[in-house]
Structure 1
Amino acid sequence: MQQVTVIDWSADFVATLKRLLLEAHGTELRDVLILYPHQRPQRHLQEFLAQDPEVPKPLFLPEGLSINEWIPHLRQEMDPRPLRTVSLLDRAGMLFDIVQDLHQSGEGLLSRLPVEREHFYPWGVRLAELLEEFFRHGRTPANLLHLSGEVQPMAAALLEQLAAIHEQYEKMLEAKGWTTPGRDACFVASHPEELVAIAKEKQIWIAGFYALTGTENAIFETLWKADAARVVFHTDPAIVDEPDRAHWTCKEHLRWLKRWGAKAELTDLAVSPRTAPRPDIQFIEGFDLHSQLRELEKNMAGTDGHDTAVVVPDTSSLMPVLHHLPDKDINISMGYPLSHSNLHRLVDIILRLQETSQGPGRYYWRELINLLRHPYIKMLTPKGTVPLRAILREFEKAIRRGGKYLNPLEWVPQTENWPDDADDAFKTAQLEGLHEVLRACCTAFESVNSLAGLGDALLGVADVLLPEDEGSSQWHKFPIDAECLFRLVKESIPTLTDSQISHDTYSPSVLYSILRQFINRERVPFEAEPLSGLQIMGILESRLLRFSHVHILDATDDKLPGSTAYDPLLPEPLRRELGLPDHRHRSLVSAHNFHRLLAGAQDVCIYYRNGEDGAGALGGKSVRSRFVEELLWEEEKREGHLIEPGTGPVKTVSFPIRGIPLRETEIEKTGTIQNRLLDMLHKRSLSPSLLDSYLRCPVMFFYKYLTPLKPLDEVNEAGDPAELGTIVHDVLHHFFLPYRGELTNLSTLDPADLQDEFTRRLTDSKFFKQMPWDMREGLNLSGRERLRRFLKNQGTTTILKLEEKIDQKTPIGDLNILLQGTLDRVDERAGGITILDYKTGGMPMPKRGIWTDIDFWDDIARGYEQETADDELLVMLAEKLPSLQLPLYAYLYYLENGVVPANAGWVELRTEGMESELFSDADSEEIREDAICEYTPRALRFVLSHMLKTPVFTSTPGHYCDWCPYGFACQKQ
């Protein structure tokens, strides 16, 4: 019996395999078949044969197949029936029929659970994958009983009848003439005589396998024992003579030899085995991925990328890695998740448009904006025109000014929104281009009720993205996006449209769930060509390949070996009960791939994060991989002490830590800005809100009053506080108008009329109709209750004025400033005149003791008179007197009527309707008169003087920055 050949795992496996082939077969390689775990080594073998000057050319190359490619060929030769390899969708649909029959039989847990097609699909997919795994391992499942309470009810019911489901599944596949890759493997393994007869036609090499499935083991053992195949390991050479000293990750190879009763021999043809006992390993510890990438970029600088691999265990990190690598020839050899692509985002937006709509032609405004802003849509160019970006911007503006739901096809651009040189043909092409997008992404999905219809609708989206005029296409600039679109069109959509259940009727929620699951499963493969240059690959893609320089990124335990996703159908503890490999087996396979890659390298940089939280709410702290811990432990044993981060081979990446800067912005007041300010002060009246805006933040004042910038329009789904305030003011004015000039106990009035008028005005308002039902009800009921409380707390008073407009001029230097305000209510009470201002929001109360702080007001007077602006004094005034509104109302009333008000106050309408007064009972009449007639004008003059004298507008950061509509324009965020 022949032996198993071992290639030292520090040697180049593919180059050594080439020598073994030439030694065994010379240049007659046309009948040689090499079986690999994956296709990548065959490409390297072809490259080595092509570049070897000692190999005569031309040469018939050996055939190289992965085991998954070879098995269907074998099955076809053994069983020439035209069996159809059935898709996962069809398998899930077939399992539904089986489970439904078992449900109707009235036995077991399954008979007591609802089995509905709409809700079964996720279970059907998991069940199909589980049965496929049984096929691959050549096992027949047994029932798992008494699992109620241990797993979900449906899982317990399915596992209770797993054997019956598997039996019916096999029968149905046979009856329909269907097959699966796992069933093909099981069929081939169960026909050893036919297998050997077919294999004798080729000279087979089984190259580089590690852990085998049950069917792979049966097939390979049959071939090996019949002397029809030669087996080559790439592993620790110690398994040949000193198996007890072999690396622990080679356990599967030792078990393999024991199962077969085989002996291993070490080849003496190994190419470039390492003479040093171990590679030079450097550990680089960063806080997050960005710190790792910064160090990778530094380590790669000045290198040509030859014989170098960057291993990325997490495919979601591919894009950041590419952005940090030097500008060299880079080859990607890994699968990129379609779920991380811009295409997935577009599909998700399209689905959410339907999920959030209120029926045909009633689309949610925010999702429409997400569609218009997608980069694929913005780059579309109708024939003979320019990209749709301009018309999309105008459409977005119209959406933001409209209602919560709208029909996008009804929008027509206004004449002034077109470019001046736009002719009718241009306008027609642009509008038709927009409508084509909207029909493909919105209308086409409205009536979809089957997988076939969903696939056709997606194909319509692809047709829009791929114009017939190839000259206008820009996809060549975005190769990854183009590959993702190709994958969707060639793989996902045909799967949806061509299955046996494609025309069955499903609800939209089920259809969208199926589509999302399929997209999440899709991987866009990148097969690097040529093989030279810097190689970017995953840990699986690195199998059997050798690189002198290796960089392994993000080597955390949740990536290497990787965490196992929870399986609700068959949790990990139950896998061993059914004889299936569990997470320990997968960890062993990952460990062997990791250590084999390191064994052949000269220098290795392992990057990992140690500090950033893991994914999810319960992700915990990211920790370095157990494989890294093992390597560090070996290093510590050699050095005889513990290695601290930042010492020895462990390098830490740190960034300078600085305090978080405040969002301070300075805008120089140029001559143009000063002229615009003077023009504003000359020509318009100044309201207290304008002065308060400057007092709060000069930069906000600049953007609001001296620039054309406007806050971004938004559809007010949660209500419009400003409009609500207007409604409350109008309702109160209308209610109190009949009592003006009469001494009235307002608290005795019936609140019903006030409440009913509020409800009528509220329900007629535009913003109220856009709010959700529960918020509408809450706002109406709470508003009515607050008005009732407000009226109850009013007491006896004489209302003199309601919504009284006052304007007075006051000199400020060379300017005669017109001040204007609206007094919500003026009452005459026992103490004198009281000015009231209704507040549905917060109340900016002055600091206690401000009216008796004579030194402060003297400073304010000096600040007005000095030639330069005093920024510190402005900040101090804003802290002590956050709003000039109420004092100014009292001052304006004094200027117009010659009577000093006794008090002023805010009426807080948010809760109880109580009054918060400007002056306390301890403030004497003299203090009140000084505050209104002396201190308020000083504050007014100081603010206006500062506005005119300051050379820069400086922001004043505060809690209001969080909702400032101009925050986006600040230089430091």
Structure 2
Amino acid sequence: MTTFIFDVLKDLKDSEINLSKLTFILPSKRAGLFLKHQLYKVADETIFSPEIISIEEFVENTSQLKPISNTELLFEFYNSYVTLTKKENQDTFEVFSKWAQILLQDFNEIDRYLIPQENIFNYLSDIQELKHWSLEQNKTDFVKNYLSFWNKLYTYYTHFTQQLLNKNSGYQGLIYREAVKNLESYIQSNTEKKHVFLGFNALNTAEETIIQKLLEHDVAKIYWDIDQVFFNNQKHDAALFTRQHQTRWKYFENNPFHWITNNYSKEKNISIYGVPKNIGQSKYIGTLLNNLSQSDPSLQNTAVVLGDENLLIPVLNSLPSTIEALNITMGFPLKSIPLASLFESLFKLHKNPSKSFYYKDAINIIAHQFIRPLFYFDDTDYASKIIETIEANNIIYLTSDRLKQIAAKAETIIDILFTNWEIAIDDALKNCSQLILTIKNDLIENKASNLLPLEYLFRFNELFNELSRLNSEYHHIKDISALFSIYKELLSTETLDFQGEPLQGLQIMGMLESRVLDFETVIISSVNEGILPSGKSNNSFIPFDVKLENNLPTYKEKDAVYTYHFYRLLQRAKNIHIIYNTEADVLTGGEKSRFITQLQLENIHKINHQIIAPHVPVIQPKLNQINKTPQLLNQIIEVAKQGFSPSSLSNYIRNPIDFYYQKILKIKEHDDAEETVAANTLGTVVHNTLEDFYKPFIGEFLTVENIKNLKPKINETVSHHFKNEYKEGDITKGKNLIVFEIAKRYVSNFLDLEIQDLKAGNQIKMIAVEAENNVFIDIPELNFPINLTGKVDRVDEYNGVTRIIDYKTGQVSQSSVEIVDWEAITTDYDKYSKSFQVLTYALMMHQSNQIQLPVEAGIFSFKNLRHGFLKFAQKDKTGPYAKKNALITEDTIDKFSIELKKLVLEICNLDIPFTEKEI
């Protein structure tokens, strides 16, 4: 395969032109590198390398202006805006930056296409006047200001461009316009220099003017790279611009048009693959490269062209390990680097000035991969200490002083991260620079394994140095919000450039980087509508019809540019793999590109079209199962010695695997800080409050007076227990205040129920509150002791009958404490878990001789207090006419003991694994 660059060099050589004296001008610097590499193929002898520059470099040299960044342009433009706008009508820099970006793009287009500035700005102003009824007498202030803005556009433009010219700098369009002005002078100074333009397609008016002038003065040659299939088809957009140049340029009336080639019609292997999702495309690119490397391990003449440059990282992660040499043309966006998320979190934290920080925002920063190591002092992980303290004490909003109390040794890094951000922008930027330096000092201790993170830091250090320079020079950034906005603007344009050997191995590039370059094998990804081509978008203040009238590019020309690049990649390639996303996407459409449909309709090449589906193995859902070993049995024995609690046994009934995790492996669920009081915290507060109230009455009969005297203490006691349980959590507002009031209401309602009972003539004697139990149960089949342990909320005597009471703050109904089938009590958690618990309490208290049978056992449900004490009952059958027996007798305990022992034997049986239940 011969490349376009080689053909140009060969033609020049055959024309006996001295290559060393030529100035080659190409669309990009990368193309210049490939041209330099091809020189040796046509040179018969040692020669001096010719001058090889990009079109941007040539225009800058001609204009005598230096380009400045988009961000600095914003600062310069704001100077002009502030100078020409009344103070009361001025936008803040943050608001200004949103619309000024679009206006700067329009300035750039107007200058690149050499449109008379005053005419177009006056035209735009007149359009707005017509839209907003300029003859209307009573215009609102808003309309007046709006029309005033449009009337000032030309003034803004003039002042802004003059300010730039005074500094010998400019944006791309202004540099092009000045280059055209200086062109005659340049030509007179370089009459002996011969310029060669090659590989151009869509030219703006300034570029057309420059090239035509040089051609007319016989100091230039130009080579087009277009195929006759496209050129001869008047409807094919790939040759839209080339046809226009040939017909409109006066030079081609008497001079040959180089070149119309015939490469596209040659035989090609074209495969089109529909692959679901972006990751699917990335993985399939890896598969294709793996197959290609079998026959060509070097992949020397292979290029992966990413239609969507966001695929770079997934593609790099999908490359086969056999690829040795790799060159990446596109940069890695700084916004995708982990360090970017850190600074974004910091800016968001400080965006709204406040002395306190939401705990999740603070943890997000402290736990960041670059920050956490900075909290490590004297073998102590202070980051973990802070996070644990926040969660244990329910600190929802915290200050820098509170952080320093928790981790005094980390005071320096806490100051950098959390203080002095709101005082001045200079201080905020100093904090950012200081943070980068601190992270660098930490990473440099192990430099060899931290080369990439250190590179990240270097690029971010450059970025913040630029922000500091711009702020010190212009002083437009007044608050953190504006700084954040400009930071994001800078971040979106900055990249981390890869270093590699550009002429070796596999090439990975974006569509624009492929200009002028030819490869034998090409893989193009994301060939979908909305990406290739990018489709209609009108990010401009200039209406569509005004653009047409002034020959400014619209979406049609933009699509034609993409069409040219796409088809030019195919011209000389032999093996072409085109990949598109089959999954519809809300934002980018998702249907395959019109380019694919066009390729199929042309019927020039045989095309292999496949829909690729990833191999998804069918994984049968399988319940987790843990087989018991002698070692595991030893752990169960230890748990048995300490005592099985009713809740742990209920947990086993519900799901044995949870029992294994919690009692054997000792794995506890992670508790986050409670922003809203959790149900278990509410339950604990109510339990503890009732314990405090009733403990003084143990051994005594309750009286109405006793209970009434407790009611004034509810607020104080509940508050005390909330403080103990909820720590530093705030219960004075929001949902927490509601939960606090609910807790008080629960306690108050329960006391009211007691008063009603007593007034009705019932006698209640307190026997025990929060009664501790730890009893041995005899299971002859086991050769190790089994203990039961648990705490009973309350034991009392009600009209001479002993009651074992369990408090529940949740909803419990009478049917939940009734039993028909004794065998189901250890298998059906949903139906019988409450009965199981109260019977276990009864068994323990009976075995420890704290009570004498018969007794009653049951539940007070605080959400169902109107039904009073919900007694455990045995039923002889189901249905409304079933006989119930609420007394727990020796027979009841015996029946329950049989089932309980079966359950314990199952837990301790080596042959019965812990098997997960479907819940």
**Common fold by TM > 0.5:** yes
Note the residue ranges of structure 2 that are not aligned, 5 or more in a row.
134-141
2:34 aligned to which of 23, 41, 44: 44
Within the candidate set 439, 447, 450, 1:473 is matched to 447
For the pair 1:550 / 2:550, whether they are aligned, the reply is no
1:138 is aligned, of 94, 114, 139, to: 114
Partners of 2:353 and 2:865 in 1: CA distance? 36
Q: CA deviation at 1:35?
A: 1.7
In 2, distance between residues paired with 1:762 and 1:753? 14
Give yes or no for the alignment of 1:66 onto 2:54: yes
The answer as to whether partners of 2:386 and 2:403 remain within 8 angstroms in 1 is no
Match of 1:628 among 589, 592, 596: 596
Conservation of the 8 A alpha-carbon contact between 2:274 and 2:611:
yes
Between 810-819 and 333-342, the greater mean CA deviation after superposition: 810-819
2:490 and 2:723 map into 1 onto residues whose CA distance is 45
1:822 aligns with 2:811: no
Instruction: Give the letter aligned to residue 667 of structure 1.
Output: I
Deviation at 1:84, TM superposition (A): 6.6
Alignment CA distance shift 1:239-1:702 (3 Å):
closer
CA shift for structure 1 position 282 = 1.1
The 2-side partners of 1:55 and 1:349 are apart by: 61
Partner residue of 1:508? 480
Match of 1:458 in 2: 432
After superposition, what is the alpha-carbon deviation per residue over 1:598-624, rounded to whole angstroms, capped at 9, x for unaligned?
22211111222212x53xxx5386322
Between the aligned partners of 2:713 and 2:274, the Cα distance in structure 1 is 70
Contact 2:111/2:176 (<8 A) preserved: yes
- Whether the aligned pair in 1 keeps the contact of 2:103 and 2:540 (CA below 8 Å) is no
CA–CA separation in structure 2 for the residues paired with 1:199 and 1:441: 58
Q: Is the 8 A contact 1:286 1:609 kept in 2?
A: yes
* Superposition deviation, residue 198 in structure 1: 4.2
Describe the shift of the 1:369–1:704 C-alpha distance in structure 2 as closer, same or farther (beyond 3 A): same
Post-superposition shift, 1:364? 4.9
For residues 379 and 463 of structure 1, what CA distance do their matches in structure 2 show? 14
Q: CA deviation at 1:188?
A: 1.6
3-state SS of paired residue (1:65): strand
Give 1:339 deviation, angstroms. Answer: 0.7
> In 1, are the aligned partners of 2:282 and 2:311 still within 8 Å (CA)?
no
Distance in 2, matches of 1:772 and 1:217, equals 72
What is the match of residue 282 of structure 1? 271
Does residue 533 in structure 1 map to residue 505 in structure 2? yes
- Check conservation: 1:311, 1:553, Cα contact below 8 A: yes
Q: Which secondary structure state, in structure 1, belongs to the residue aligned with residue 465 of structure 2?
A: helix
Question: Amino acid of the residue matched to residue 233 of structure 1?
Answer: W
Give the Cα–Cα distance (whole angstroms) in 2 for the partners of residues 131 and 772 of structure 1. 56
Equivalent in 193, 197, 219 of residue 188 of structure 2 = 197
- 1:124 and 2:107 aligned: no
SS of match in other structure, 2:591:
coil
Q: Is the 8 A contact 1:793 1:913 kept in 2?
A: no
Q: Any idea what the Cα deviations from partners look like across 1:131-167, whole Å, max 9, x if unmatched?
A: 2333333232422406679xx9998874464333323
User: Which residue, 421, 425, 447 being the options, matches 1:446?
Assistant: 421
- Rounded to whole Å, the distance in 2 between the matches of 1:909 and 1:763 is 23
Q: Sequence identity of aligned pairs in percent?
A: 20
Structure 1 residue 494: deviation in Å?
A: 1.8
Farther off after superposition, 839-848 or 517-526: 839-848
The equivalences for 1:600-679 within 5 A come to 600-611=572-583, 614=585, 618-619=586-587, 622-634=590-602, 649-656=609-616, 658=618, 661=621, 664-679=623-638
Contact 2:533/2:563, CA 8 A, preserved across alignment: yes
Q: Does the CA-based 8 Å contact 1:281-1:604 persist in structure 2?
A: yes
Question: Which residue, 281, 299, 303 being the options, matches 1:309?
Answer: 303
Asked if residue 707 in structure 1 is aligned to residue 665 in structure 2, the reply is yes
Please report how far the alpha carbon of residue 660 of structure 1 lies from its aligned counterpart in structure 2 after TM superposition. 6.7
What does 1:91-490 correspond to in 2, within 5 Å?
91-100=73-82, 103-104=85-86, 115-139=91-115, 140=117, 141-142=120-121, 143=125, 144-145=127-128, 158-159=149-150, 161-174=152-165, 178-238=169-229, 242=232, 244=234, 247-261=236-250, 262=252, 265=256, 274=263, 277-301=266-290, 302=294, 303-304=296-297, 305-327=299-321, 328=323, 329-355=325-351, 358-359=354-355, 364-377=358-371, 397=388, 400-401=391-392, 403-404=395-396, 405=398, 407=400, 410=404, 437-443=413-419, 446=421, 449-450=424-425, 452-467=426-441, 472-474=446-448, 477-478=451-452, 481-490=453-462
Instruction: Report the CA distance shift for 1:128/1:530 in structure 2 as closer, same or farther (over 3 A).
Output: closer
Secondary structure of residue in 1 paired with 2:792: strand
The CA deviation at 1:889 is: 3.0
Paired letter, 2:777: T
Gaps of 5+ in 1: 1-9, 77-82, 106-110, 415-430, 861-873, 960-973
1:804 to 770, 778, 781: 770
- Contact 2:229/2:264, CA 8 A, preserved across alignment: no
Give distance in 2, aligned partners of 1:842 and 1:628: 62
The verdict on how the C-alpha distance between 1:162 and 1:706 changes in structure 2, with shifts beyond 3 A counting, is: same
Give the corresponding residue for 1:690: 648
Cα 1:206–1:652, aligned 2, differ >3 Å: closer, same or farther?
same
In the TM superposition, what whole-angstrom CA distance separates every residue of 1:399-448 from its partner, at most 9, and x where no partner exists? 6546442548736889xxxxxxxxxxxxxxxx6xx6665554445x6356
Relative to structure 1, the CA distance from residue 126 to residue 934 in structure 2 (aligned partners, 3 Å threshold; closer, same or farther) is farther
Q: CA–CA distance in 2 between the matches of 1:923 and 1:745?
A: 40
Instruction: Report the Cα offset of residue 545 of structure 1.
Output: 0.9
In the alignment, residue 254 of structure 1 is paired with which amino acid? R
Query: Counterparts of 1:956 and 1:571 in 2: how far apart (Å)?
Result: 65
Structure 1 distance, partners of 2:537, 2:706, is 67
* Range with greater deviation from structure 2 (587-596 or 618-627): 618-627
Deviation at 1:948, TM superposition (A): 0.4
Shift in Å, 1:500: 6.0
1:477-514 per-residue CA deviation (whole Å, 9 max, x = no partner) reads 43xx5554443333553244245655455122221222
Q: 2:329, 2:508 within 8 Å by CA — same for their partners in 1? A: yes
Residue matched to 2:829: 878
Q: Give the stretch that moved more between structures: 815-824 or 397-406.
A: 397-406
Letter paired with 2:821: D
- Out of 455-464 and 904-913, give the one that drifted further: 904-913
- Write the distance in 2 (CA, Å) between the matches of 1:594 and 1:17: 21
Q: Deviations over 1:307-338 (max 9, x none)?
A: 11111222222122112112211111112211
Moved more, 495-504 or 282-291: 495-504
**1:900-921 deviation digits (Å, cap 9, x = unpaired):** 4445124144999977665498
**TM-score, normalised via structure 2 length:** 0.83
Contact persistence 2:273–2:578 (CA under 8 A): yes
Cα offset for 1:90? 4.3
Taking a change above 3 Å as real, the CA distance of residues 757 and 169 of structure 1, as seen in their structure-2 partners, is: same
Change (3 A) 1:276 1:904: same
TM-score (normalised: structure 1): 0.79
- Structure 1 counterpart of 2:432, one-letter code: L
What one-letter code is carried by the residue in structure 1 that aligns with 2:424?
A: N
Tell me how far apart the structure 2 counterparts of residues 114 and 792 of structure 1 sit (CA, whole Å).
Answer: 66
- Residue in 1 that maps onto 2:139: none
Q: In the comparison of the two structures, how many residue pairs are matched?
A: 870
Mapped partners of 2:373, 2:16: distance in 1: 56
